[in-house]
């Protein structure tokens, strides 16, 4: 074998080993689908993801999310959407509380607590779509206003996260 072939093979092997090391150290995301069913034909669907290194670490918040998207529906038809990454926060608040141990949303607290949810809300308004879960009730927002007809009790909550990608 010529020395140039040997060097070429060594370079290729080094590159291959580097690629394997890089790909084994790559961060993977864990993704969840969101579903919620409210009153009067209102519902919400969406998704979120976060770095798989957070699995089993307990509660995470908005700062830990890689993606987050919701679509508010009335009788199955979309009436408003919001994407945390693409749309951002424009005069709204985003409080997200999720337990990576139980893979469930933390519910039952005030909206700005560790057991509240306040997604793209500004008082009684939202940009596109929003959701609120407080100590006693949950409801959605679309077209700039709360939809009080969607109101449901937290004790009857149907806010569910279902893992879709397993790292």
pLDDT in tens, 37-67: 999 999 999 999 999 999 999 999 999 999 9
3-state secondary structure of 114: coil
Query: How far is the C-alpha of 72 from the C-alpha of 76, rounded, in Å?
Result: 9
Q: What is the pTM of this model?
A: 0.81
For residues 141 and 130, is the Cβ–Cβ distance under 8 A?
yes
pLDDT in tens, 118-137: 999 988 889 899 999 999 99
């Amino acid at each position: 074998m010529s020395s140039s072939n040997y060097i070429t093979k060594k370079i290729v092997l080094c590159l291959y080993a580097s690629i394997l090391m890089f790909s084994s150290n790559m961060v993977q995301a864990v993704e969840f689908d969101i579903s919620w069913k409210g009153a009067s034909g209102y519902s919400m669907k969406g998704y979120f993801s976060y770095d798989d290194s957070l699995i089993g670490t307990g509660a995470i918040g908005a700062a830990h999310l890689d993606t987050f998207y919701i679509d508010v529906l009335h009788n199955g038809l979309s009436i408003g959407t919001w994407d945390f990454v693409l749309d951002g926060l424009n005069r709204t608040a985003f409080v997200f509380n999720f337990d990576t141990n139980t893979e469930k949303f933390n519910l039952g607290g005030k909206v700005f607590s560790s057991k509240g949810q306040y997604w793209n809300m500004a008082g009684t308004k939202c940009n596109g779509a929003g959701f609120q879960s407080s100590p006693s009730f949950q409801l959605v927002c679309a077209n700039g206003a709360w939809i009080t007809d969607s109101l449901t009790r937290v004790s009857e909550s149907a806010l569910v996260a279902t893992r879709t990608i397993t790292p």
